[in-house]
Amino acid sequence: MIKPLERRQKIVKDIDTFEDNHIVLRLSQKYGVSEMTIRRDLKVLEDSGLIKRTYGGAVRWPTVQVEPPLLARDKRLPLATDQKTRIARFAAQNLVQSRDIIIIEGGTTATAMVPYVADWDDLTVVTNGLATAEELRRQLPWSATLLCPGGILRPDSCTFVGHIAERFFREFHAHRLFLSATGLTLREGITDPNILEIQVKRAMIQSAHEVILLMDSSKFGARSLMKVIDWSEVHLLVTDDAAPADMLDALHAQGVEVVIAQ
């Protein structure tokens, strides 16, 4: 029997398929659990803002679900490439110092920091991204230290996930974590589509003294499967000048510090 988190992730996708009034029964039969369990799953998903229950069924709210695979990143990177570059350059040049211990997660925006962090001396850089690690290996000076976890290598993202990777990050104490994700809303916070990735990111968050969020304006208003981090845990959000002003004002009102990368 699959775990509840995995089952709920699959149920969100099933909502589009099971459109009749017998959705609870059909999901119960598919996953081999009671109808009461399915109703609890639907309640959790509705509370998370992912679906809306209807009389006898449920519908899915618009959400960012599909994560382009690493091999398609030549298609993903042109989306807000200039914005991602500005954000990454600003973060590397203004939020990193020599002899820092930093975590760069394997997302495209965080990985775009690599050419710019190479200017700092005696850095220790930790990452779960295989492609990120390869870029760091090629560009970091010999004085730098590069650390990577083991674990399960996800083909779609080329990142290490699973219990080994989670345990690895919990062993470290970093000055700063540079984190990106798929979606950003005022209500749900920062969200991502893959549970295994989220669990590793949460381990990174626990090990960092400061969490720096790198999110270009295309992510604002997008909502993915599960929350990664609460706004109360974010020390700084770095974005671009196309980010919606009303959302930035609302974040300021919540006490979130925001910097526009020029």
Q: What is the CATH number of the domain that holds 147?
A: 3.40.50.1360
Q: Is 117 contained in some domain? A: yes
Nearest to 100 by CA among 179, 175, 209: 175
Among the ranges given (7-16, 37-46, 152-161), the one the predictor scored with the smallest mean pLDDT: 7-16
CATH of the domain at 17: 1.10.10
Q: Which domain holds residue 31?
A: 4-60
> Both 76 and 51 in a single domain?
no
> Both 55 and 81 in a single domain?
no
257, amino acid identity = E
> Both 102 and 142 in a single domain?
yes
Nearest to 114 by CA among 214, 2, 8: 214
> Both 85 and 32 in a single domain?
no
Per-residue pLDDT band for 49 (boundaries 50, 70, 90) equals low
Among the ranges given (33-47, 57-71, 141-155, 180-194), the one the predictor scored with the smallest mean pLDDT: 57-71
CB count within 10 Å of CB 256 equals 17
CA–CA separation, 222 and 190 (whole Å): 9
Q: Is 65 contained in some domain? A: no
> Both 35 and 151 in a single domain?
no
CA–CA separation, 94 and 71 (whole Å): 31
Whether the per-residue pLDDT at 68 is higher than 80: the answer is: no
- Structural domain count of the chain: 2
> Both 19 and 75 in a single domain?
no
Are 127 and 207 spatial neighbours (Cβ–Cβ below 8 Å)?
no
Residues with Cβ within 8 Å of 87's Cβ and at least 6 positions away in sequence, in order, are 109, 112, 214, 215, 216, 238, 239, 240, 261
- Could you read off the pLDDT of 192-249 as tens digits, one per residue? 989 999 999 999 999 999 999 999 998 888 888 889 998 889 999 999 998 988 889 8
> Both 93 and 34 in a single domain?
no
Q: Is 100 contained in some domain? A: yes
> Both 121 and 223 in a single domain?
yes
pLDDT for res 75: 44
Q: Which residue has the tokens 């059909």?
A: 26
> Both 90 and 207 in a single domain?
yes
> Both 111 and 235 in a single domain?
yes
Locate 9 and state its tokens.
């992730």
3 state DSSP class of 176: strand
Whether the per-residue pLDDT at 72 is higher than 60: the answer is: no
pLDDT for res 12: 77
Residues with Cβ within 8 Å of 5's Cβ and at least 6 positions away in sequence, in order, are 195, 226
> Both 194 and 82 in a single domain?
yes
pLDDT for res 215: 94
Q: Can you name the residues that pair with 129 across neighbouring β-strands?
A: 159
Give mean pLDDT, residues 87-101. Answer: 95
> Both 74 and 40 in a single domain?
no
